[in-house]
A and B are shown apart, each in its own frame.
Chain A
Amino acid sequence: MNRFTEKEFILAKKFFPLTRRLLCASAAALLACHAPAALAATPKDTLVIAFSFDDIITLDPAEAFELSAGEIMGNSYDRLVRLNISDPTKLTGDVAKSWTVSSDGKTYTFDIKPGLKFASGNALTAEEVAYSLQRAVSLDKSPAYILAQFGFTKDNVKDKIKAVGPLKLTLETSQAFAPTLVLNCLSANVAAIVDQKLLQSKAQNGDWGAGWLKTHYAGSGPLKLREWRANEIVALERNALYYGEKSRPARVIYRQVKESATQRLLLEKGDIDIARNLSPQDIAALAGNASVKLASAPKGTVYYISLNQKNANLAKPEVREALKWLVDYSAIGETLIKNIGVVHQNFLPLGLLGASKETPYKLDVAKARALLAKAGLAKGFKVTLDIRSMQPLQGIAEAFQQSAKRAGIEVELIPGDGKQVLTKYRARTHDMYIGQWGADYWDPHSNADTFTRNPDNADSAKSKPLAWRNAWAIPELTKKSDAAMLERDTAKRQAMYEALQADFRQTSPFIMLYQETEVAAYRSNVEGLKLGPTFDSNYLFNVAKR
């Protein structure tokens, strides 16, 4: 029966990855030799995008923390300030006309642009902005800590963030934080401005309208949400009441298409305008197609292999360093992550304040062997590596397995499903783990907070950053990271992060591999597509079709 063949095939896929690769390769080869036939054009005022957005579980800005949801919110909600996508280390006002910071560094005052309206027609004033921030803090969902870290709690937020005039808002933080940090956090989705009147009419049992907003819309951005059908479609349409330049497309429709090969076929046929999740092979194959163009941008996601310090061998400083010399960075960069990433050996992705470009490590087996000998492990050792069964992680893990073997280290790969591997990692029962980290908000502290801060390394610790997950006890680095978070002079702050990264490169149990590049392929009649530095700054309201 069919379902049996399918199930068997799923099993086969798991156990014989080679077969699958061969099949994919033959599919790719056949794809390569065909020329696109006549076009089935999409409506001219509608932008149709093939996208894998099955990670979306809510469209409430106070709750959503998923990449795809971030993109929808970036296009449909306003906030006080926005990233400047041509220079992501700077900010521009969004609904805020201007802002000032008090001399003690704790009070921020924002002037709101006059005459703003939500898509519903309700007015947008300082009161709605205050409500939105209070709501996010009070609901206390996953991304709420981005705001709560400034000392806001459910109980005090109404005093700390308030409208002091129809167009004037003040925000009072618990310490004198770096202003760049505070403002960067206010550009995050969790600080998006929501329609108070609309939400109050939908609220049930004091839930701030959260039950309703999960699948609905209450914003004021250039595009408004028309419908989200999970795993099927997200439809946005032009918000005629938007204060700024109106959206160029009248509609933007995302279609859930998981397979890269399917996205490519749709794009070549002209049934979609933009393909968002293409494999490196499909991107390479599209390079010769005159009717398709590529847009790409480095994103705030870094990939790494981490070494659990609970493992006695991996806890030796020489072993940590030796493993950094056992990755063939250039081969990985030229093949496995071609078009989708750039080798990067720092915990801050490029584009963030202070991000370092240093790449001191390369494949050097002799050096690694010497270090291992110094650690008393000249004969090597055995160790396991947990990976998610997906590319390019698998390929990188296999390459690392090969090069580590040359220094006598036997790496056993343990493949698993995403959530399964993550569950194990979070319980810190792994030896080595390969995975990625995406910045939660666009400030260096987002990554420093997890890579170089570990306030409590005990199993019962309250906060469990990546440093904790790898049992890396770092009281000194934690202090330095805290200092960088508070430094109000931007130039000094930048220097502090550079120093942190230098220390981290040398001593950390993290082998930093590469920074992700996002690539989109689009039909050549599409103009104005520019991917932003973050997932919530992939703006589509600027994109039009000829």
Chain B
Amino acid sequence: MTREQIPPLMGTAPQVSAATPRLIRRLKAAGRFALVIFLTYLGLLAVTFFIGRVIPVDPVLAIVGDNAPPHVVARVREELGLNQPLAAQFTVYLGKVLRGDFGTSVLTANPVMQDIRRTFPATLELASLGILLGAGLGVPLGVWAAVRRGSWVDQAVRIIGLVGYSVPIFWLGLMALLVFYARLGWVAGPGRIDVAYEFTLTPVTGLLLLDTAMAGDWEAFGSALAHLILPASLLGYFSMAYISRMTRSFMLHELAQEYIVTARAKGLSEARIIWRHALRNAMVPLVTVIALSYAGLLEGSVLTETVFSWPGLGLYITHSLQNADMNAVLGGTLVIGSIFIALNLLSDLLYRLLDPRTHLR
């Protein structure tokens, strides 16, 4: 990337034509980018597809059950095209995907994209609130720990991080339910919303907070929030643990740099040095860490979703994989792949905002 950004030497080309090579360069870069994305998708699909076909699970079993008579098994195998060679199966699948047809999930009997449209908002809502909490608390905590390195603050943050990092989430989830739902009654239990609202609400975006707010149904909004807050806090805690550790280490690195000494020598206030100088530089790698954490959450947290009976993407894909429901798995993988690509792109763009050296000229 750096090579094509080297500006043409002043004066070697007249001002008018300077725009043309730049445009071509940009087009080339865009083309290369598109090619990379295309190959990424192709690779993703190919690997998932072949793994799905070599795992020792018979997909027909998931459809017809264990007790089905053999002729039914044989017919369904043929209907699914499983009696054809792998390469042929893959080509057929690719052709359909290119036409926008992701197939039907055998487990839910729905088109895969319809299922994903239903499960993804649940995960999106959970993950977004989770990462807001995680980054919102994790970054300041990490900065604080770095600045007070070795003090009780640092130790406390380290312990919080260690616990968040090492305690199994399903156990912590159950404990949190026990304390905050069963004992204290501060939050609502598992599920996305109280049963009473289940059928009064017509999903528009699938994000319940947004849907209820748009409908002006504040009671339902409260119910959705009460259900969301606990699992989101839990996910937030886990990403906070990671983000605070990373922030601390990036900050320590920056605080040891010479420009900090210079800033101090100039007599800048400590707050300004930490937040404007050191953190701004630490933000560059941090953006990637946060983006990847977010992508990880969007992939769906199977265990959290299981404990909280949260009908999200992680549960959907895991359940599909266990039953060799490959259309669903492939569709889900594509969506997750897109999330990673989009978030990578986003963090690249943020880099450019944060780091003047990578500015396009």
Spell out A's residues near B (CB within 8 Å): 1-6, 9-10, 12, 23, 26-27, 30-31, 34, 36-38, 40, 42-43, 46, 48, 54, 57-58, 65-66, 140-142, 144-145, 214-215, 226-227, 229-233, 235, 253, 255-259, 261-262, 265-266, 268-269, 271, 417-420, 422-424, 426, 440, 450, 462-464
Q: Could you tell me the distance between the alpha carbons of A55 and B164 in the complex, rounded to whole angstroms?
A: 34
Taking CB atoms, residues of chain B closer than 8 Å to A262 are 174, 177, 189-190, 307-309
Q: Say if the beta carbon of B93 comes within 8 Å of chain A.
A: no
Determine which of A48, A231, A257 lies in contact with B190 in the assembled complex, contact meaning CB atoms within 8 Å: A257
Rounded to whole Å, the gap between the CB of B268 and the closest CB of chain A is 35
Number of A-B contacts (CB under 8 A): 185
- A264: nearest residue on chain B (CB-CB)? B182
Main secondary structure of the interface of B (DSSP, over half): helix
Contact, CB under 8 Å: A232 / B311: yes
Taking CB atoms, residues of chain B closer than 8 Å to A12 are 168
Taking CB atoms, residues of chain A closer than 8 Å to B194 are 40
Q: Say if the beta carbon of B302 comes within 8 Å of chain A.
A: yes
- B310: nearest residue on chain A (CB-CB)? A232
Determine which of B57, B110, B165, B171 lies in contact with A417 in the assembled complex, contact meaning CB atoms within 8 Å: B57
26 pairs of residues in contact across A and B, judged by CB atoms under 8 Å: A2-B296, A3-B301, A4-B296, A31-B174, A31-B178, A37-B183, A37-B185, A38-B185, A46-B195, A57-B109, A65-B65, A145-B72, A214-B109, A229-B311, A230-B107, A235-B199, A258-B309, A262-B308, A262-B309, A265-B182, A265-B190, A269-B189, A418-B322, A426-B58, A463-B70, A464-B70
Rounded to whole Å, the gap between the CB of B209 and the closest CB of chain A is 18
Contact, CB under 8 Å: A265 / B299: no
Q: Could you tell me the distance between the alpha carbons of A2 and B303 in the complex, rounded to whole angstroms?
A: 11
Rounded to whole Å, the gap between the CB of B74 and the closest CB of chain A is 10
- B166: nearest residue on chain A (CB-CB)? A5
Contact, CB under 8 Å: B311 / A3: no
Determine which of A5, A37, A145, A235 lies in contact with B69 in the assembled complex, contact meaning CB atoms within 8 Å: A145
Which 4 pairs, one residue from A and one from B, show the smallest C-beta to C-beta distance?
Answer: A230-B108, A142-B68, A3-B296, A214-B109
Contact, CB under 8 Å: B171 / A23: yes
Taking CB atoms, residues of chain B closer than 8 Å to A140 are 71-72, 75
How many chain-B residues does the 8 Å CB contact rule pick out? 73
Spell out B's residues near A (CB within 8 Å): 55-58, 61-72, 75, 105-110, 115, 118, 165-166, 168-171, 174-175, 177-178, 181-185, 188-191, 194-196, 198-199, 235, 238-239, 242, 292-293, 296-297, 299, 301-304, 306-309, 311, 315-316, 319, 322-324
Rounded to whole Å, the gap between the CB of A434 and the closest CB of chain B is 14
Contact, CB under 8 Å: B195 / A256: no
Contact, CB under 8 Å: B109 / A419: no
Contact, CB under 8 Å: A266 / B189: yes
Given contacts A2-B296, A2-B301, A420-B56, contact A27 B175 (CB under 8 A): yes
Determine which of B64, B109, B169, B322 lies in contact with A6 in the assembled complex, contact meaning CB atoms within 8 Å: B169
Contact, CB under 8 Å: A3 / B110: no
- A449: nearest residue on chain B (CB-CB)? B67
Taking CB atoms, residues of chain A closer than 8 Å to B106 are 57
Contact, CB under 8 Å: A235 / B198: yes
Determine which of A43, A142, A420 lies in contact with B195 in the assembled complex, contact meaning CB atoms within 8 Å: A43
Contact, CB under 8 Å: B57 / A419: yes
Q: Could you tell me the distance between the alpha carbons of A31 and B316 in the complex, rounded to whole angstroms?
A: 28
Rounded to whole Å, the gap between the CB of B98 and the closest CB of chain A is 24
Contact, CB under 8 Å: A2 / B235: yes
Taking CB atoms, residues of chain A closer than 8 Å to B311 are 229, 231-232, 256
Taking CB atoms, residues of chain A closer than 8 Å to B67 are 65, 142, 440, 450
Taking CB atoms, residues of chain B closer than 8 Å to A265 are 177-178, 181-182, 189-190
Given contacts A2-B293, A142-B64, contact A23 B198 (CB under 8 A): no
- A66: nearest residue on chain B (CB-CB)? B65
- B118: nearest residue on chain A (CB-CB)? A229
Taking CB atoms, residues of chain A closer than 8 Å to B299 are 3
Known: A227-B199, A262-B174. 18 other contacts (CB 8 A): A1-B242, A2-B301, A40-B189, A57-B107, A65-B67, A142-B65, A229-B118, A256-B311, A258-B306, A259-B174, A262-B189, A265-B177, A269-B182, A422-B61, A426-B66, A450-B67, A462-B70, A464-B70
The residue in B62, B107, B109 that gathers the most chain A C-beta atoms within 10 A of its C-beta is B109
Contact, CB under 8 Å: A417 / B322: yes
Taking CB atoms, residues of chain A closer than 8 Å to B178 are 30-31, 34, 265
